[in-house]
Amino acid sequence: MAESHGGAKAPATDAHTEADGGHHGGGFPPFESSTFASQLVSLAIFFVVLYVIVSKLALPKVGGTIEARQNKIEGDLTEAQALKDQSEAALKAYESELAAARARAQAIGNESRDKANAQAEAERKALEEQLAAKLAEAEKTIASTRATAMSNVRSIAADAAGTIVQQLTGVVPDAASVNAAVDASLKG
């Protein structure tokens, strides 16, 4: 027998050691029929313990995590919908403000155009009145110039007729007879 470290002898065993090669008489231990029943009992106990641990500890934690994640997703979706509603409301407000601004701009443009048209019409009327006054004055001037010219034409015609008669006949004609002849030709 072998001695142990404390001086006592180690008990002798019939068990095989690794020095012997560690071989029992059979094949692979899980397939040995002599240990098969105990292995099934150990497997059943291990499975029950594992099932209890998983169902009591791990599954509630996983379930809680899944539920928390689902609640977070639902909260995020709710917040996203609220933000979407806010952005749609802001867009509608922007569009209504834009439409109102366009309407105001259109009204201002129409008002400016109407004022400009009214001012242009007033200026046109004032210019027409000025032109009409100048035209009437010009017609009066033309009429007086024509009358003056016509009176000068008579004297010029009388002088020309007297000069022509003198050059043709060599005799100075009488002024009364020249004037009578010019008056007769102007009337007729």
Domain ranges of the chain: 46-170
Which two three-digit tokens encode residue 102?
């366009």
Write down the pLDDT at residue 21. Answer: 47
Write down the pLDDT at residue 188. Answer: 64
What string of pLDDT tens digits covers the 188 residues of the chain? 444 444 445 454 444 444 444 555 567 777 777 888 888 899 999 999 999 988 898 888 888 899 999 999 999 999 999 999 999 999 999 999 999 999 999 999 999 999 999 999 999 999 999 999 999 999 999 988 888 877 777 788 888 888 888 888 888 888 888 888 877 877 76
| CB-neighbour burial class of residue 138 (10 A; exposed 0-12, middle 13-18, buried 19+) | exposed
- Chain centroid to Cα 114, Å, comes to 30
pTM value > 0.85: no
Write down the pLDDT at residue 25. Answer: 55
Give bridge partners of residue 3 from the DSSP assignment: 9
Write down the pLDDT at residue 26. Answer: 61
Write down the pLDDT at residue 127. Answer: 93
Q: Using alpha carbons only, what angle is made at residue 168 by residues 162 and 173, rounded to the nearest 5 degrees?
A: 35
The residue whose two tokens read 């641990």 is 53
Write down the pLDDT at residue 58. Answer: 85
